[in-house]
Amino acid sequence: MPKRAKSTRCITCQEPIRWGYRRCKTCHEAQRRLDQKTLLEATLGRKDAIRYTGVRSHARKVYAESGGPKQCAVCGYFKHVEICHIRDISTFPLETLVIEVNALANLVALCPNHHRELDHDLIQMGLTGFEPV
């Protein structure tokens, strides 16, 4: 006679789930979805070094789904690009929704060199594109 699989209940909705899990698939996906969470909710309990990792990962997903160009907006380099925020994540209030922080108007693909220059205020977004400071 085969052993019966152990089961438990989802901590969110109390639906029966397999033993060893804490949430059912539906609740797990809802927990991970950042679209309608605020920055505070998305970063709660994370240490400073990795605080915005989930928000950055969501930004890459949003940009990939948008079909935006996968080349540097400054020089056109296409072998390796990084999706970065024009306005830094930390400048937004914690009550801001992640979907607003990761709006396409705030995301741009840059090569590693230009991404570093943007982060260190050596270039900035101007009316016609990126300009040296």
pLDDT at 126 > cutoff 90: no
DSSP class per residue in the chain: -PPPPPEEE-TTT--EEETT-SS-HHHHHHHH--TT-BHHHHHTT--GGGTTHHHHHHHHHHHHHHT--SS-TTT---SS-EEEESS-GGGS-TTSBHHHHT-GGGEEEE-HHHHHHHHTTSEEE-SSSEEE-
pLDDT at 5 (0 to 100): 62
Question: pLDDT band at residue 101, thresholds of 50, 70 and 90?
Answer: very high
pLDDT at 99 over 70: yes
- Kindly tell me if the per-residue pLDDT of 16 is higher than 80: yes
pTM above 0.85, yes or no: no
